[in-house]
Structure 1
């Protein structure tokens, strides 16, 4: 075979692996959601936030590397010079945790299960996410190692912000995006940092999810918080009750469609590839243009297929397994 022979007309060109070809910088936007409440979004890249206490800061999410985190902190420092006392991690994924050393926080807070997941699969997840999303790992050599929470909790934890600022309530709403996701709720300001339990016009990553719990009681719990602004894991901030309800509704619909389509394929005796094609066909018309849709879907369907086959806890993703699933479903 001539290696220089032109590709046959009409031959299918394999899709680039995950987000490996997404190398263009995104434009960050900082929004002040209330007095001393900040959110940084970036066109579908992971969102981060910060909340001012009377004489300290609470930061929400850490980004993928200390260098990337320092870029965010330079933006934040134009608004406040208060020291960072707390860093809150919504869950264990590498793009949310590995930049933690840049914050210099006295206390790093996460759910009990998040700490356990870091111990169980943090190293493999780091390898996996670096391969899938290399652009987010700005100067990966700056990462000193896995991030370990110093304080964990099982249901709720509140931080007194001091003065007249009220409290920041951290809550576990149930299994969802992972088995350890938490949200950060400001009842006085009615601002909710939902992490990846809700996405605002960005595709869901469900490769480590509990789909039925997430679409059911977990999102019901999130929806029960009377938020007037919601910062999801990715995408624009949802402003006002209507936008908040829409963001939660879109997240639930994405999950419901996946569950419906994969269940139907299983019932008729189809294979994993059939399930992927059915889900892609059902979701793409509405959600296909959203950030990381093509990247996420093979891993999403693979996990849901396992779940419906009785695999209770997600299998650990590695760089090798990522490529195998991608080749089977997306190439």
Structure 2
């Protein structure tokens, strides 16, 4: 399955504050560096400046500048268009967005592009009318302004990102990374997304419905921390595991373990186990020809019906449909992990 082309908007006419530079760096890191051992070809990334192609790039704090040969016209024809953020005056002061940008976003969407916003980039998609009647999100500091300015948008400030098919939006900062990895997972499968996340030293998958308001501090990785017990659990996903089992392994009370895991991952122990098992099932569906019943058993989800129930609820498609969507891996029967 082809990764496709990704066009990233750079709003160069108003400059890029340091805060937004992080959001710009995310798609560059995820989609811009070839990963031939994971997928070849990788994504074709272009930075498209609002000032037109071939211009000296926008000023960035700390003496940095960007230069790109691509302009807004190059958004049309891209498979995916990403708006990392918009300048602060457009959010805080209601300053109009460049009409050239708004028009280009509409044309790109009409041409069939998948439209994506990170953080305040949602304001640009909303201004183009692409979020009307849709559920969308942005950084929680700006969702009230987004809802007030664009009442046709169903703003949800409680999630990391929203996947509405051909239009996707994320909260700010690290939530943008979650959404970009989600796109890789959609395009190239769970195995590729998980390996890429591992190289970036970030969690492989945080579901979009996870709350924005979480403490992402990671416990110390000593013998009494969570790292060893989570690795232990991942190696035994095919076995019955309870919160009591994990807490005992971590030498903690169940209440302490629950609190520590939620602080570190933003999710409950049972939801963490479900996410890990679904991730294992995705990998097995992509890389083996094992029967659905066997994959349910190996992933710890039990029967084929139970696997199907959780897969449709969390992933959005049935296990069989998911397997058909990723035929690039040569089927190969595999022993139990």
TM-score class, shorter-chain normalisation, is under 0.3
Give the number of the structure with larger relative contact order, counting CA–CA contacts within 8 Å between residues 6 or more apart.
1
Q: Quick check: which one's strand share is greater?
A: 1
Q: What is the TM-score when the length of structure 2 is the normalising length?
A: 0.26
Q: What is the TM-score when the length of structure 1 is the normalising length?
A: 0.26
Q: Quick check: which one's helix share is greater?
A: 2
Question: In terms of Rg, which structure is larger?
Answer: 2
